[in-house]
Amino acid sequence: MTDEKLFNEFAPIPTEKWEEVIQKDLKGADYEKKLVWRTDEGFKVRPYYRAEDLKDIEYLNVMPNEFPFTRSTKTNTNSWEIVQNVTETAPEKANAIAKASIKGGATTIGFDMKEVKTAQDLATMLNGIELTKVGVIFRHTCGRAIEFAQDFIAYLAANKIDKAQIKGAISFDPISCCLRNGKFATTQEDAMNKAIELVKLTADMPEFKVVNVRGLQMHNGGATIIQELGYTLGIANEYLAYATANGLTVDQMAKKMEVTLSIASNYFMEIAKLRAFRLLWATMVNAYQPKCDCACKVRINSVASSWNKTIYDPYVNMLRTTTEGMAAAIGGADSIALQPFDVAFKSDDDFSRRISRNVQIILEEESYFDKVVDPAAGSYYIENLTDSIAEHAWKLFQDVEAQGGMTKLVLAGEIKKAIEESCQKRDMDIATRKYVLLGTNQFPNANDAMLEKIEKCEEDNHAGLKFYRGARAFEELRLETEKMAKTNGRPKVFLLKIGNLAMRQARAGFVTNFFGCAGYEILDNTGFATVAEGIEAAKSVKANIVVICSSDEEYATLGVEAAKAAKAAGFLFVVAGNPADSIEALTAAGTDDFIHVRTNVLECLKKYNKILCK
């Protein structure tokens, strides 16, 4: 077999040649506007990358499980822990769900400890679970983390369980709790001292973490990827700085810490996010001069986003979590917890929990995602995304430190303010459909009814950073429509399709999606030869809104005629499009509105709901 490389006889094509072809194809259009994506995170993504774009990335020649661990903290397998978070808080019921989940493939159980008040409650919750084989994560322990840790250690001793074999964590993160609640439960000093005490209590449990920095919380409040990573680093640094100034070494503290990061829908960005964070963590911890590189490794728990989950068309959430699970696996997450598809409107059940686990089991058992460590390595695109995310998140971390650190900024309300500003921008992108939530603000199932299926209230009464779902504003419109429909039926939108066949069909599709986002009934047809025929058809079905769908050129005549006839018949009249040359004439003829790709869909539909949903 020859060592000669394929295609050596072909001369490489320089970037300048590719750019010449692109400019020709653009036909004078602005390159930046057409092809360069400016992310919410504040950096630009080019339309393509080449080998030359990797020359300045320093970690590329480092193997997985080598400092700075960008490429993974794993060596021979990319396996991860399949986490089932149990939302049931009653100890006996939670225990039953946990055991069923383990039987169904979960390898780690996340328990909600809100109702675990005594050692007996803990024993009931853990009864029958082999803790040397199954990992455990204890959530919501902020109030009594020390007492809980002592009870857990006593439980292990009483049942003769080897502490050194226990994997999992106590999810203690008082700074993130402060961000949510607006203040510390007691004092900042007390909270930080508890973190140190937890490290000492569990010193002989090397696989059990006790400080879990929750970047997920910031994501679900609306943070960008850069904010999630930069602020997570900032919180982690607070714990490291305090611990090393108060008797612990950086090795002791760092090895007892982990992070929980979100995994959302932006597939390649999410892969790059996890890779970037390992680099950032290693860089930060290394500045404390640990004795062992192993202190620079970070355990990353990936939890599927709640921000992007929807009430309407809920089975789409299964597709979202599948993409999220894939991104987390390729990015090298140490554990993955996927949201049950119905999490936005009800408590999970056996079916939705099973689906969330089986997605991961398929990724491992049928798709072999656990066989290759860092499969994204060398991708020109992902490597550049990793580098850009790391650069911008590190700069944000440095800015936070320059202003006095995360705790100071959290207490001053600055972090909450910055995340809320990002959330508002994301909200506007959803309202204008720059960001698509399938089934909610684009391609909705207008006949979907969810009002009677909602079992839980989403009110967030926390004084600090509040959680938010991007679909919520559109869903409030849909629910309002459903309530009105109980007595008066849904508002009816009649498509007056006339003239140019291609344009009327295209605009009819646009209108169907547009008003479908509010759950209105769309009355479609094959089209009409005359305006009068269309208006009579609209009368016969008792439409509320008539929308003309035609070409801009025909709006000057047919549109004006239709506007006058529709107003005479008492309809709201809307033009699908933005025909600049005819707007004045159409408005004078009685047109109520123009809807097009630049319309703020949410605000427009709110206006119609006020008129029609009384």
pLDDT in tens, 549-571: 999 999 999 999 999 999 999 99
Q: What is the pLDDT of residues 372-386, one digit of tens each?
A: 999 999 999 999 999
Look at the block and give the residue holding tokens 């322990």. 141
Mean pLDDT to the nearest integer, 433-460? 92
Mean pLDDT to the nearest integer, 168-187? 95
Residue type at position 330: I
Confirm if 349 and 235 have CB atoms less than 8 A apart. Answer: no
Residue 614: band (very low, low, confident or very high) from pLDDT cuts 50, 70, 90: low
Residue type at position 346: K
Tokens of 431: 């309202």
Mean pLDDT to the nearest integer, 267-284? 98
pLDDT of residue 3: 64
Helix, strand, coil % over all residues of the chain, rounded to 5: 50, 10, 40
The secondary structure element, H or E, covering residue 477 is: helix 472-488
Mean pLDDT to the nearest integer, 511-537? 97
Confirm if 494 and 523 have CB atoms less than 8 A apart. Answer: yes
Tokens of 465: 């950073």
Mean pLDDT to the nearest integer, 106-116? 96
Q: Please name which of 158, 155, 160, 194 lies closest in space to residue 177, comparing C-alpha atoms.
A: 194
Residue 613: band (very low, low, confident or very high) from pLDDT cuts 50, 70, 90: confident
Residue 456: band (very low, low, confident or very high) from pLDDT cuts 50, 70, 90: confident
Looking at 51-55, 85-89, 331-335, which range is the least confident one?
A: 51-55
pLDDT of residue 162: 96
Beta carbons within 10 angstroms of residue 592's beta carbon = 18
Classify residue 114 by its DSSP letter: T
pLDDT of residue 344: 95
pLDDT at 426 over 90: yes
Give the three-class secondary structure for 298: coil
What's the predicted TM-score (pTM) here?
A: 0.94
Burial (CB < 10 A; 0-12, 13-18, 19+), residue 578, is middle
Average pLDDT, the chain: 95
pLDDT of residue 142: 66
pLDDT of residue 14: 92
Q: What is the pLDDT of residues 17-74, one digit of tens each?
A: 999 999 999 999 999 999 999 998 889 999 999 999 999 898 898 999 999 999 999 9
347-383 burial, b if ≥16 CB within 10 A, otherwise e?
A: ebeeebbbbbbbbbeebbeeeebbeebbbbbebebbb
CA–CA gap between residue 438 and residue 101 (Å, rounded): 30
Burial (CB < 10 A; 0-12, 13-18, 19+), residue 159, is exposed
pLDDT of residue 2: 56
The secondary structure element, H or E, covering residue 504 is: helix 501-516
pLDDT of residue 104: 97
pLDDT of residue 290: 97
CA-atom Rg of the chain in angstroms: 28
